[in-house]
Amino acid sequence: MGFVQAYAAPMVRIEWSGSYHPDGRYPAAIVNVTNRCNLACEHCFIYRDGNPNQVPHSVRDELSDDEILDTLTAVRDRNGVVSMLWMGGEPLLRRNLLRRGVSLFHNNTVTTNGTAPLFDLGRHTLYVVSLDGPEDLNDAIRGAGTFRRVIRTLERIPSGMSSPVQVQCTVTRRNEHRLAEVVDAVRATRANWMTFSFYVPRAHDTGPDAWASNEERARAVEEVRRLKALHPAFIRNSTAMLDLMLPPTCRQVSDSCMARAHVLPLYLEGDHFRTPFCCYGNDVDCDRCGGWVVFHLAARYGPFAR
Ligand X SMILES: C[S@@+](CC[C@H](N)C(=O)[O-])C[C@H]1O[C@@H](n2cnc3c(N)ncnc32)[C@H](O)[C@@H]1O
Residues that bind ligand SF4 (CB under 6 A): 37, 39-41, 44, 46, 88-90, 113, 142, 200, 254, 257, 259-260, 278-280, 284, 286, 289, 291, 294
Question: What is the DSSP code string of the chain?
Answer: --PEE-SSSSEE-EE--TT--TT---SEEEEE--S--S---TT-STTSTTSS-PPPSSGGGSPPHHHHHHHHHHHHHHH---EEEEESS-GGGGHHHHHHHGGGSSEEEEEE-S-S------TTEEEEEE--SSHHHHHHHH-TTHHHHHHHHHHTPPTT--S-EEEEEEE-TTTGGGHHHHHHHHHTSS--EEEEEE--PPTT--STT--SSHHHHHHHHHHHHHHHHHSTTTB-S-HHHHHHTSTTHHHHHHHT-HHHHHEEEEEEETTEEE--SBTTBSS--GGG---HHHHHHHHHHSTT--
Which lies closer to ligand X via its Cβ, residue 200 or residue 257?
200
Beta carbons of 130 and 112 less than 8 angstroms apart: yes
In the region spanning residues 272 to 301, those forming contacts with ligand X, defined by CB under 6 A, are none
Residue 28 φ then ψ, to 5°:
-135, 155
Which lies closer to ligand SF4 via its Cβ, residue 41 or residue 68?
41
Q: Which of 45, 105, 196, 267 is in the footprint of ligand X by CB under 6 A?
A: 45
Closest approach of ligand X to the CB of residue 197, in Å = 5
Check binding of 90 to ligand X (CB under 6 A).
yes
Q: Which of 197, 254, 275, 282 is in the footprint of ligand X by CB under 6 A?
A: 197
Which lies closer to ligand X via its Cβ, residue 29 or residue 44?
44
Closest approach of ligand SF4 to the CB of residue 130, in Å = 6
Check binding of 113 to ligand X (CB under 6 A).
yes
From ligand X, ligand SF4, none, interface partner of 197 (C-beta below 5 to 8 A by class): ligand X
Closest approach of ligand SF4 to the CB of residue 13, in Å = 21
Closest approach of ligand X to the CB of residue 254, in Å = 13
Taking the CA atoms of 112, 118, 122 and 123 in sequence, report the sign of the dihedral they define: positive
Check binding of 111 to ligand X (CB under 6 A).
yes
From ligand X, ligand SF4, none, interface partner of 257 (C-beta below 5 to 8 A by class): ligand SF4
Which lies closer to ligand SF4 via its Cβ, residue 6 or residue 220?
220
Closest approach of ligand X to the CB of residue 205, in Å = 9
Check binding of 267 to ligand X (CB under 6 A).
no
Binding site for ligand X (CB under 6 A): 37, 43-46, 87-88, 90, 111-113, 130, 132, 168, 170, 197, 199-200
